[in-house]
Amino acid sequence: MRRGREIAAVSDVSFDLAAGECLALVGESGCGKSVLASALLGLLPANASTSGSALLYGPGQDTGLDLPAADEATLARTVRGRLIGLVPQSPAAHLTPVRTVRSQLAETVRELRGVRGKELAEATLAAAARAAFPADHLDRYPHQLSGGLAQRAATALALVGDAPLLLADEPTTGLDRDLVQRTVDELRTHTDDGRGLLLITHDLAAAERVADRVAVMYAGRVVELAEARDFFGEPGPRHPYARGLLAALPERAFTPIPGMPPELGDLPDGCAFAPRCTRASAECAQLPVPTDGVACHHPVAAGRPSADVCEGSGV
């Protein structure tokens, strides 16, 4: 809800995520990626509403917990940190400002792992090392940390519970390339141990490094869902917008997609990407129905070389 108007930040999103799998959710800022993560954890603003279902299955469970329907007590005591870990997009806002990083990590280790006594200090150090957080900074307060250190502190906290599902919302923000690779590799290890990872990121290089599948969002909808090996290799993305994202990378064509994403409160009736797409036609005035993982009236034909992006992306 914005100024008395209902704004659909995320619409008709549907995907599954298996244990031991990493799904990378990519797209430009404002497309709804972080809103989706907040909805799953019940962290939306009070004036927001949700519909639909998101079923979370714990180890050995045949009946899933419907997250949007769960009450706050269930989310707080059972889901957050225990069944779903979160690496937040804005880590400084999720760290307690009046407590040191060591204190917050120790409390989380104690609560989620049941570690007490002399072993707690050692387990706290191990939790920090897992996210490459330097031990000599553990006694600092959040306001004394750089953006990259705050990100690593938040990642360390998220990994403590070894939750069956981890939501990592821009976990590489503020990190140099070496730390980006170390962080995403640690997240991949978390996944390889049989847990699910939803990686929300602008960093397509990080997504390529660890993802099994890629979901591309545009204007609140998933426009393509593909295997990562096909998306980043051959035949490449089939949706014009997804091809444009790859073409904008410095190591590829380094050509930006023209124009700007639409405002979510002023979306066209049909394809939201049509104003930026050279493949658009009169048919695009109708909302495309996803077919074979692609929501587009004029997808690039499967098997077409991924280097041929100009016609598909409008660049």
pLDDT tens by residue, 49-103 = 999 999 998 777 888 999 999 999 999 999 999 999 999 988 988 899 999 999 9
Residue-averaged pLDDT of the chain? 91
Residue 36: per-residue pLDDT: 94
Taking 90 as the threshold, does the pLDDT of residue 27 lie above it? Answer: yes
β 165-169/22-26 pair status = unpaired
Residue 315: per-residue pLDDT: 24
Residue 3: per-residue pLDDT: 59
Cis peptide before 240 (omega within 30 of 0): no
Taking 70 as the threshold, does the pLDDT of residue 228 lie above it? Answer: yes
Average pLDDT over residues 131-135: 95
Average pLDDT over residues 186-194: 93
Residue 303: per-residue pLDDT: 57
Q: Which two tokens stand for residue 33?
A: 């990626």
* Nearest of 262, 294, 266 to residue 279 by alpha carbon: 294
CB burial class (10 A; 0-12, 13-18, 19+) of residue 23?
buried
Residue 2: per-residue pLDDT: 54
Residue 249: per-residue pLDDT: 93
Residue 92 to residue 288: CA distance in whole angstroms:
39
Residue 92: per-residue pLDDT: 81
* Nearest of 239, 235, 229 to residue 303 by alpha carbon: 235
Percent of the chain clearing pLDDT 90 (strictly above): 83
Give the 3-state secondary structure of residue 27: coil
| Res. 156 pLDDT band, cuts 50 70 90 | very high
| Res. 310 pLDDT band, cuts 50 70 90 | very low
* Nearest of 184, 159, 171 to residue 109 by alpha carbon: 159
Least confident of 7-16, 55-64, 66-75, 134-143: 55-64
β 55-56/22-26 pair status = unpaired
Least confident of 1-10, 126-135, 226-235: 1-10
Percent of the chain clearing pLDDT 70 (strictly above): 95
